[in-house]
Amino acid sequence: MINRFKPKFNIKKGDTVVVIAGDDKDLKKPRKVLEVIVDKGRVIVEGVAIATKHTKPSASNTKGGIVKVEAAINISNVMLWDAKTSAPTKVKRSREEGKLVRISKKSGEVIK
């Protein structure tokens, strides 16, 4: 079934997050978001959920073999990292000068 409205998430590509649930749970190690898959509600985070992928030889990869890639994890398993307080934080949205901005609830700083 297709959703009628596109969901809104507080996490974007390039954000720094911590994994709060799952096998790679680590609340002290911030990691970078590589991709956000909005329609599935999943994110690909650097160094998390490593999967081995078997590739055939091709023109770009003449040898083929086994490659380690990051798999997608649910967006609910990550939390935004606040660099100022060095802790995970929730996000609130507000309008500043007509633009919607994300604000850290712990420090009150605008998230770039």
Q: Is residue 111 assigned to a domain?
A: no
Q: Is 63 helix (H, G, I), strand (E, B) or coil?
A: coil
- Beta carbons of 107 and 85 less than 8 angstroms apart: yes
Give the global pTM.
0.85
- Beta carbons of 82 and 91 less than 8 angstroms apart: no
Number of domains making up the chain? 1
Residues linked to residue 8 through DSSP beta bridges, in sequence order: none
Q: Is residue 48 assigned to a domain?
A: yes
Q: Is residue 8 assigned to a domain?
A: no
Low-confidence ranges of the chain (pLDDT < 70): 1
